[in-house]
Structure formats: C-alpha cells, structure tokens
Amino acid sequence: MIMSIDKDIRLSLKEIISGQINDLLLLIRSSGQNQPILVHELRKGIKRVRSLFHLFKPVISDQDFHEINKMICELGSTLTYQRESIVNIQIFNELEHIFTRFSNKNTLVLINELLNNQNAEAYENTKNEFNRLITGISFNLSKVRENINNLKINPYSADLLKLAIIKNFSKTKRYYNDCKISSHMEAVHKWRRYCKYLLFQLKFGPIDFIDQQYTDKLDNLAEILGKEHDLAVFDQLLKVFIFKEIDRQDRLIISQYLDDERNELQKKAFKLGKEIFSEKVVISKPEPVLF
C-alpha cells in the first residue's frame, strides 16, 4: 500500500465521501429502479460512507464525530427490515432440497406465508410508505454531506491516516479473536462490520492500495460472514414467529440444517481470517508496517 499525499488528506476525504453520497442520491433519482436492488445498493453505499467517515475520527471533535456517525448509522438501519425480507425469501428458496423431509405439508405453508407477509409489509407502497422512506433517506444523506463538508478538521498527516487504518485493522483482528471464543450472532456481526470498514477504507479511501489479492480476501471474508449472519437472522425469525406452530420433527430438520450451514461458513471464515490477520502489510513507503 502506498500513501498518496499529493493532495490534502482532509480535502481528499471530504471529496471522496461527497462523491459516494452523490452517487447514492443519483441512484435514488433514477427512474424505474427495482425496489430490492435499490435497497441493497443504498445499504452498501451507506456502509461505505460510514467506514470512510470513521477515518475522520482522529482529527475532529468527539461531539462532531458522534453526531454525524449517529446520523449515518440511523440511515443504514432504516432499510434493515426491507433487506432482510428479501434475503429471507432467498434463503427459503435455497431450502427446497430439505422440503421433502418435512413430516407436515403445513410447515411450508406457514413459512411461505410468514415470509410473503413480511415482504409485502416491507415494500408496502399503496399509501406511498416506501417512497416516503426513500425520500427521507435522500434528505438525510444530503444533510450528512453538508455536515461533513462544513466540518472543522485538524491537520491530517499521512502518518496519522496510516495509524487510523492500523487501528481499524486491530479492531477487526480483535473481533476475529473474540469470535474464536464465542461465535454469538452479535460477535460475528461486529467482526463482519469491521471487515467491511477496513475493506472500504482500503478500496475507496485517500490511499493508493495496490494489493488487490488482499482486498479480495477481505471482501470474500465479509461475504462469508454476511451469509452466516443472514442464516442466523432467518433462524431467529422462524423461532420467534412460527416455531411453536410447526411439528417438532420439522423444527429439528430446519434447525439442524441451518446450524450445519452456519458451522461450515464459520469454519471457512476462521480459515480465511487466520490467513488475512497473519499477513505482513506495507502501509506506506518507505516504512514497512507489521499488522
């Protein structure tokens, strides 16, 4: 990784974040956009904005950081229900091969009804609810952009930026180690979130990152952890709403399948994590930095 210091880092970072937000606003304004695709792209883009904004933490006041970070976080969580409703249907469709093992045909009916009702509610637009939700996101994205552009920022050296990225790497590695002790849903979610932070900071931040293989590994790890999280959310949904109505044997079939799939994904994640977090990474020339 080679640090690009031709431009003021403060200005570069503001321009990058503004560009990311402008892309999201353009996406919203695009006509005929598929709703689930729009939701997916908005969520990804908001995560990029949040991860890049975190690079400002060493050079702005705590109050400014927490206020703006809260705004971005709330934007990201706004569309969680919509995204999960689509992902749950996708997972349900992937379960076709275990349907023949169910002892009661009503099991499929119950699951299908739950997921379709959830999806209909998430994208309900007869009263313009979904459109109002997206309009609110557009307004708040513009507000985030304005607040970031107006930030008073202390001098930002290349070395300080390097330290900020190293700190984020250290947090990601810590969550990886935490998950080796406990693979609780929330712990895995934090590990994935910080993998995304690090990935987006390396790919879109004010640095020239030339190790494509490294970012590909991080991207792959985040996808594996994302799939594991999706299965956990699906499992939780069934347990909360309809497991009491499903035959015991069918409950066991579903739970066993989801547990096995999550275990396999966690094994892949830990194997890849070990490889990623034991590598030597050069942050800036001429000084090598060992993560």
* Predicted local distance difference test score (pLDDT) of residue 281: 56
Q: How many domains, the chain?
A: 1
Query: Would you say 123 and 85 are in contact if contact means Cβ atoms under 8 Å apart?
Result: yes
* Residue 123, in any domain of the structure: yes
* Residue 287, in any domain of the structure: no
pTM: predicted TM-score of the whole model, two decimal places: 0.89
Q: Which residues of the chain have pLDDT under 50?
A: 1-6, 284-291
Query: Which residues are within 8 A (CB) of 269 and not within 5 positions of it... i.e. 6 or more apart?
Result: 179, 191, 221, 224, 225, 228
* Residue 1, in any domain of the structure: no
Q: Is residue 223 classed exposed, middle or buried when 0-12, 13-18 and 19+ CB atoms within 10 A define those classes?
A: middle
* Residue 291, in any domain of the structure: no
Domain that holds residue 195: 9-276
* Residue 121, in any domain of the structure: yes
Q: Residue 118 CA to chain centroid, in angstroms?
A: 21
* Residue 283, in any domain of the structure: no
Query: Which residues are within 8 A (CB) of 204 and not within 5 positions of it... i.e. 6 or more apart?
Result: 16, 20, 48, 52
* Residue 198, in any domain of the structure: yes
- Quick one: tokens of 164? 């900020």
* Predicted local distance difference test score (pLDDT) of residue 4: 45
* Predicted local distance difference test score (pLDDT) of residue 282: 52
CATH number at residue 235: 1.40.20.10
* Predicted local distance difference test score (pLDDT) of residue 207: 81
* Residue 83, in any domain of the structure: yes
